[in-house]
């Protein structure tokens, strides 16, 4: 279970303080598929980066299965990112000079899997997301956007994370491919009982999720 209490994040920039998140409260059950919508600049990405321990909140708490991740040491946060969280990005963010297979194996390495077992597990994951054997050995620049996003989903799922955080995972794809990717995420959350929080601009997609949170100026409105 994910419980966020009074989460506030402000950035100090040249033009003064920006409050990206303002006392956000939300709860997501384990295995739930939730979507986050909101205008550009409303704080969606900021919320995900707090949940994924990519940045430190200004105040408030984030409890994942009873542990406040904002209070963890740097090393524990790194381990949390490696084992409990899976990230899917709008721009895929695969390592360009590693093959699809090596990209997934990299996440397995950070998750602490012994090196001998990594290859089999990575191949399995890539097959599950629908990548052909020869595509698995290609480097990202030689894969289509949809294929790259599949690889990044495989990478996110690698260490059986408790939560998958997806920031506009379909934002760079045509609507048909986007639907397929979304279905894939949906299917996996069911079979693996993974909690998913996905940011999207597509109301169609948002409508299919278990719950939708709407952000406006750093506040939850629904």
Ligand X SMILES: Nc1ncnc2c1ncn2[C@@H]1O[C@H](COP(=O)(O)OP(=O)(O)OP(=O)(O)O)[C@@H](O)[C@H]1O
210 binds other proteins (CB under 8 A): no
Residue selected from 15, 115, 176, 207 as contacting other proteins according to rule CB under 8 A: 115
Contacts of 86 (CB under 8 A, 6+ apart): 155, 156, 157, 158, 159, 161, 163, 164, 165, 194
Binding residues among 84-103 for other proteins as defined by CB under 8 A: 85, 87, 89-91, 93-98, 102
The minimum distance between CB 171 and Mg ion, in angstroms, equals: 9
When computed from its CA atoms, the radius of gyration of the chain, rounded to whole angstroms, is: 17
Distance CA 214, CA 17 (A): 23
Residues at the interface with ligand X (CB under 6 A): 11, 13, 18, 20, 38, 40-46
Q: Which does 11 bind (CB under 5 to 8 A by kind): other proteins, Mg ion, ligand X, none?
A: ligand X
- Site for other proteins, rule CB under 8 A: 45, 48-49, 52, 54-55, 75, 78-79, 81-83, 85, 87, 89-91, 93-98, 102, 105-107, 109-111, 115, 155, 159, 167
């Amino acid at each position: 279970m994910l419980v966020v209490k009074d989460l506030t994040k402000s950035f100090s920039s040249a033009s003064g303080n920006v409050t990206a998140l303002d006392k956000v409260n939300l709860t997501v059950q384990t295995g739930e598929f939730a979507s986050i919508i909101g205008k550009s600049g409303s704080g969606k990405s900021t919320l995900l980066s707090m949940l994924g321990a990519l940045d430190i909140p200004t105040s408030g708490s984030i409890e994942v299965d009873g542990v406040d991740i904002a209070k963890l040491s740097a090393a524990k946060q790194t381990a949390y990112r490696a084992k409990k969280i899976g990230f899917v990005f709008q721009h895929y963010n695969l390592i360009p000079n590693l093959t699809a297979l090596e990209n997934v194996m990299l996440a397995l390495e950070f998750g602490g899997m012994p090196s001998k077992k990594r290859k089999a597990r990575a191949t399995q994951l890539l097959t599950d997301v629908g990548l052909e054997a020869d595509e698995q050995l290609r480097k990202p620049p030689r894969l289509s956007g949809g294929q790259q996003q599949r690889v990044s989903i495989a990478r996110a799922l690698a260490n059986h994370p408790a939560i998958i955080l997806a920031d506009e995972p379909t934002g760079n794809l045509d609507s048909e491919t986007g639907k397929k990717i979304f279905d894939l995420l949906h299917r996996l959350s069911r079979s693996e009982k993974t909690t998913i929080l996905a940011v999207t601009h597509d109301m169609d997609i948002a409508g299919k999720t278990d719950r939708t949170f709407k952000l406006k100026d750093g506040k939850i409105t629904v």
